[in-house]
């Protein structure tokens, strides 16, 4: 499941897809990570203010990891329009 996420919303959507593919509810994931269901929801919606530690804990519980690499150019980037 390699996905590129360049925004908080894209990362949240990837986390949501993984959670659903594992058959977990937000509440069940919250229990695994000792987080409230509302916190999981905020993370999946890309809301500002989510702590990095929270994101890492949720990703670990879902068997995901972060890979840091140089950003690739894409024709879909808003910066390319201007």
The string of pLDDT tens digits covering residues 38-81 is 999 999 999 989 999 999 999 999 999 999 889 887 655 555 54
pTM of the model: 0.83
Classify residue 81: in a domain, yes or no: no
Domain count, the chain: 1
Classify residue 76: in a domain, yes or no: no
Classify residue 75: in a domain, yes or no: no
Judge whether residue 37 has pLDDT over 70.
yes
The SS3 of residue 72 is coil
User: In the structure encoding, which two tokens stand for residue 60, read together?
Assistant: 């670990």
Contact 24, 15 (CB under 8 A): no
Classify residue 77: in a domain, yes or no: no
Classify residue 1: in a domain, yes or no: no
Tell me what pLDDT residue 81 has: 47
- Residue at token pair 């894209």: 10
Phi then psi for residue 67, to 5 deg, are -120, 125
Classify residue 37: in a domain, yes or no: yes
Domain CATH number, residue 61: 1.10.260.40
Average pLDDT over residues 26-44: 97
Classify residue 43: in a domain, yes or no: yes
Classify residue 73: in a domain, yes or no: no
Tell me what pLDDT residue 78 has: 54
Which residue range forms the structural domain that includes residue 17? 8-68
Interatomic CA distance for residues 18 and 21, integer angstroms: 5
Of 56, 76, 73, residue with least CA distance to 65? 56
Neighbours of 25 (CB within 10 A): 12
């Amino acid at each position: 499941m390699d996905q590129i996420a360049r925004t908080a919303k894209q990362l949240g959507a990837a986390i949501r897809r993984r959670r659903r593919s594992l058959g977990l509810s937000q509440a069940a994931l919250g229990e695994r990570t000792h987080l409230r269901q509302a916190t999981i929801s905020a993370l999946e919606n890309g809301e500002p203010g989510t702590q990095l530690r929270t994101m890492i804990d949720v990703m670990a519980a879902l068997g995901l990891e972060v890979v840091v690499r140089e950003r690739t150019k894409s024709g879909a980037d808003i910066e390319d329009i201007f």
